[in-house]
Each structure stands twice: as structure tokens, then as C-alpha cells.
């Protein structure tokens, strides 16, 4: 399980469409299908129901979606904590001003 797989999964779930998800992620469909496939294989469950109009989240997929969002949110928080755009929230302002 990698962050890339998790993010790919979330986007596919949001779009309900591998092609659309691929556009959002700036990759082609095959890599996305494979990432999802690898994730399902590792977890040993089927995350989506394949329909002729796209992908529908299954119960296991909905459960993973919750976990995935939390993980990605934490990662985003960590990244922001070190982003140069804004100072850390708890370190206090510099006394230079």
C-alpha cells in the first residue's frame, strides 16, 4: 500500500471513472487500472463494481475511502508543516518584526 495507490483510489472513487481520474492525475488509464488492481490484490478485496458506465464503489471500497482520506489528510498536514509558503503553526512568529 502506497500513498500513490491511495490517492489514485480516492480520485477514481470520486470520479467513478478511471478515464476521468486519469485526466485529473495526468496519467493514462492503464497505470491507474494497475494501481487499483494492485491495491485490491494486496488488500484481498474488490473495491469497485465494474459497470458499463464506469466504476461503482463497493462496501469495502467505501470503508477504505474513509481510511484513505484520513491518511492523505495527515500527509497533507505534514507537508504543510514544512511548506515554505507559511511558517509552522506552533513555533510562534519571528521576533524580527
Partner DNA sequence: TCAAATTACGGTCGACGTAAGGATC
Partner DNA sequence: GATCCTTACGTCGACCGTAATTTGA
Does residue 58 interact with DNA by CB under 7 A?
Answer: no
CA distance 73 to 71: 5
Task: From the list its own copies, DNA, none, pick the one residue 75 interacts with, judged by a Cβ distance below 5 to 8 Å according to partner type.
Answer: its own copies
φ, ψ of residue 56 to 5 degrees: the values are: -115, 130
Using the rule CB under 7 A, which residue among 7, 10, 17, 60 binds DNA?
Answer: 17
Q: At 63, list the grid cell.
A: 470503508
Question: Among 29, 60, 65, 71, which residue interacts with DNA (rule: CB under 7 A)?
Answer: 29
Q: Environment class of residue 18 by beta-carbon count within 10 Å: exposed (0-12), middle (13-18) or buried (19+)?
A: buried
Q: Is residue 52 close enough to count as binding DNA by CB under 7 A? A: yes
Instruction: Give the footprint of DNA on this chain (CB under 7 A).
Output: 2, 4, 17-19, 26-31, 33-38, 48, 50-55
Amino acid at each position: 500500500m502506497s500513498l500513490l495507490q491511495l490517492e489514485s483510489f480516492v480520485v477514481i472513487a470520486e470520479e467513478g471513472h478511471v478515464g476521468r481520474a486519469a485526466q485529473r492525475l495526468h496519467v493514462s488509464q492503464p497505470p491507474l487500472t494497475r494501481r487499483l488492481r494492485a491495491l485490491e490484490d494486496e488488500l484481498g478485496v474488490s473495491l469497485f463494481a465494474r459497470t458499463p458506465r464506469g466504476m461503482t464503489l463497493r462496501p469495502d471500497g467505501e470503508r477504505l475511502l474513509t481510511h484513505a482520506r484520513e491518511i492523505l489528510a495527515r500527509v497533507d498536514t505534514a507537508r504543510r508543516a514544512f511548506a515554505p509558503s507559511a511558517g509552522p503553526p506552533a513555533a510562534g512568529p519571528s521576533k524580527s518584526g
